[in-house]
Amino acid sequence: MQLAMLRPTRAFGYVLHGFKYLCTFCRKLFCRRLRLMVAYTSVGLLPFLLLRLRFNERNPAKRSTPDREPTDDEETTRDNDPSQVEPADLLYCDYDTTWETSRDPQRDRRPRESTQRPYDYKFDRFQNAARDMYNYRHDYPQGNDMPNLKFYLGKRPSVPDGFYIHEFHEEWRGQYSRLEEVHTFIQWIFPLQEIGMNHEAFELTKQEIEAFCNDETAKVNLQESYRLMLDFYGIELSNLETGEVRRASHWQQRFQNLNRYTHNNLRLTRMLKCLGTLGFRHYQAPLVHFFLEETLVHGNLPMVKESVLNYFLFAVLDRAQRMKLVRFAFLNYEPKEEFIWCPKKIQEVFLLEGSRTGLPNLAYPIPAEEV
């Protein structure tokens, strides 16, 4: 009886002893390995740290410098520059390079709370558009076959429509239903450095752009394509040199179509981008000014107005012209408290300039005889 009672007790002792031994073994094993890992890591990082110190000594300009307060001269210069804005401005946009900033936007940005601006949705749409226009203005692909240039030189047809450039100019002019309903020609007529809806068209490349801009035949054909599409929208090119445009005789009918089918806003954006890319950037501002005047001054094309402000305006590559167009837009926009396409500081400068000159609408250079 006593022997039977001792057996479980002895077995439990064996188990307890084995558990203690296992714990001691694991503690010694893992603690020792941990010390080895720390030692090996330290030895491995030491050469990297030494190399980093030597790199900083050779490149002192790349080392971060401690923050300092701007001097009085720097503050005065910044305050007197009408295009200088702070990233903390309520309507500052990261992708709008029209305005200058003197500090790091990411460090100095002030969070925008919904209570600060009741029109966040409109500003978010503007920022999305600004991102697209920023990518366009700062280039995009590489290649060598130059299919777009060959098309404009009449050496290959478009796909899938199968027309050559001279056929497009001769057979599609005035065919408004055809121009409205076919969606695969615009990528060939106004090629870009980005993919469009027609996946059988080709993106422009840097080499192709350079060759296109140096080829007079291609540029003349592009001008003709531009005039054909302007006619489709009820506009005519009044000055081939400056790019000035005006209403065509059938503008009312075409404006109704443009206002009804909003996919034409995308076509116009593509057209403006293409003009700026392929040697006709001086054509951009006159066309954008035309649409600003039609939408903001005359009250036409309400379905085009938002695209004019979000996309057309910021497709203009010439920064000085873009600033003038923003000023024209602001001074003719109502209500002004809902204008979100430039920072608040710039708006205050525009208002001050307008009150001094008394000519708020003359924000874009126009011929002297029209003043």
pLDDT tens readout for residues 166-206: 999 999 999 999 999 999 999 999 999 998 889 999 999 99
The answer for 309, left when phi > 0, alpha when psi is -120 to 50, beta otherwise, is: alpha
For every residue of 229-295, DSSP letters joined together read HHHHTTEEES-TTT--EEE-TTHHHHHHHHHH-THHHHHHHHHHHHHHHTT-GGGHHHHHHHHHIII
Query: Alpha-carbon distance 206 to 200, whole Å?
Result: 19
pLDDT surpasses 80 at 216: yes
pLDDT surpasses 50 at 367: no
pLDDT surpasses 90 at 297: yes
Pairing relationship of beta strands 245-247 and 235-237 according to DSSP bridges? antiparallel
* Contact assessment for residue 341 and residue 305, using Cβ atoms and an 8 Å cutoff: no
What pLDDT does residue 370 have? 37
pLDDT surpasses 80 at 61: no
Average confidence score pLDDT of the chain: 80
What Å distances lie between residue 227 and 55, 224, 237, 279, 306, CA to CA? 57, 5, 6, 16, 24
For 74-115, what is each residue's pLDDT tens digit? Answer: 555 555 566 677 777 767 776 677 766 655 555 544 444 444
Range with the largest mean pLDDT of 17-26, 51-60, 98-107, 194-203: 194-203
Q: How many CB atoms lie within 10 A of CB 156?
A: 16
**How confident is the model over 204-210, as a mean pLDDT?**
95
pTM comes to 0.65
Query: Alpha-carbon distance 91 to 147, whole Å?
Result: 42
pLDDT class of 284 with cuts at 50, 70, 90: very high
The answer for 266, left when phi > 0, alpha when psi is -120 to 50, beta otherwise, is: alpha
